[in-house]
Homo-oligomer: A and B are copies of this chain.
């Protein structure tokens, strides 16, 4: 890119809107240039840092592409393609939410659009929304884009990042508080909230007239026989205050098909988000018609995916917890873990892994390729300065042999790291 003359640069630095500079860079992607440089130098980098699963997309969805016969590829409806709305209804009925009809569903372009619209719909600029930190880093982006203030309440590695007592949450509620936004199962902690934790949140919503925004993108990813307690179960109890945010990305391993959903019994919310949706015309037709096949995905698909992740979780947990100085609560769901490391500055360690540390891949003759691992510094998932400084987030979306190799590399790296 051509450089502008300096004088022009000075002018235009103040030219964009102030709020544009308030949109944060993604902490997950911050180290990407170092990873790219390592790969260019011939190093194999294991991506233990980002939640892009390697699980196959269901065949019945891919078949929609191969059989494609709609021409032209025209707009879908702003609320959502009717066949997808119908399939989503069937899916939610299967979860027990038989009180939902399609008028309570809005198809969104990924879970991200659902979350962003929810923030817009419940809070005016300057209003506050309570979140539990560490939290999904993109919540910061949606907050900046919508001009709302996230008010973080700390949770801790020592108790598996479960919610604090009701009084602690209550202490953060002000006149400006409009909602509590939570993610269950949790990205980035892997925590699955108990029924009594959800009941506490519902009680708070009732008592203080707050919205509950429940990000349930990882609903099916719960381990050790546990089941997620969905906000859907409490939707009739707080019909005007409950909004469920969903995505098909992880459930069906279709991250690149941008399909999510916003679900609420609140008619004003549904009418309002539909008006926003009309402005962007529709979600993608092809992605929606693929997604509409969700009712045809065999149950065995989920069982296999679930069992595979549970095994990966076990391998990760058992592998890491035996490294001296490493602390990891047993992840209960999703496919993430926040892991405490025996380092002072995890960001420096993560960068060092990419720039300095190399381990030859195991081979008979000792001539293996140089390898390293990429993990995400956890500080970017916290809003409170200084928190998470010695923690990293790991996404266990790799095959079991690769996870084992990553643990091996991390063990050696922690031994070799003397900053």
Q: Are A57 and B29 in contact (CB under 8 A)?
A: no
Our pick among B2, B72, B279 for the contact of A145 (Cβ within 8 Å) is: B279
Chain B residues with Cβ under 8 A from A113's Cβ? 280
- Chain-B contact segment, one of A123-131, A187-195, A406-414: A123-131
Number of interface residues of A (CB under 8 A): 89
Q: Closest B-chain residue to A178, C-beta based?
A: B17
Give residues of chain A (58-106) contacting chain B, Cβ–Cβ below 8 Å.
61-62, 65-66, 68, 71-76, 78, 99, 101, 103-104
Q: CB distance B66 to A280 under 8 Å?
A: no
- Check A316 for interface membership: any CB of B closer than 8 A: no
Contact B141–A125 (Cβ < 8 Å): no
Give a binary string over A245-267; 1 marks a CB under 8 Å from any B CB, 0 the rest. 00000000111111000000111
Instruction: Select one of B53, B266, B287 contacting A72, CB under 8 A.
Output: B53
Q: Contacts A103-B1, A240-B4, A287-B284 hold; do A278 and B73 have CB atoms under 8 A apart?
A: no
Q: Which residue of B lies closest to A143 (CB)?
A: B279
| CB–CB A281/B255 < 8 A | yes
For the complex, give the distance between the alpha carbons of A13 and B61 in Å: 40
**Interface-facing stretch out of A20-28, A163-171, A329-337:** A20-28
Q: Decide if the interface of chain A is mainly helix, strand, loop or mixed.
A: loop
Report yes or no: B268 in contact with A12, Cβ–Cβ below 8 A.
yes
A-B contact list, 25 entries, CB within 8 Å: A1-B104, A4-B239, A12-B240, A15-B268, A16-B121, A17-B121, A20-B272, A23-B272, A26-B275, A52-B74, A53-B72, A57-B72, A61-B73, A62-B73, A65-B66, A72-B253, A74-B256, A75-B255, A75-B256, A76-B256, A109-B109, A112-B280, A142-B279, A145-B276, A284-B284
Residue numbers of A with Cβ under 8 A of B are 1-2, 4, 8, 11-13, 15-21, 23-26, 29, 52-57, 61-62, 65-66, 68, 71-76, 78, 99, 101, 103-104, 109-110, 112-113, 116, 120-125, 127, 138, 141-142, 145, 147, 178, 209, 211, 239-241, 253-258, 265-269, 272, 275-276, 278-287, 290
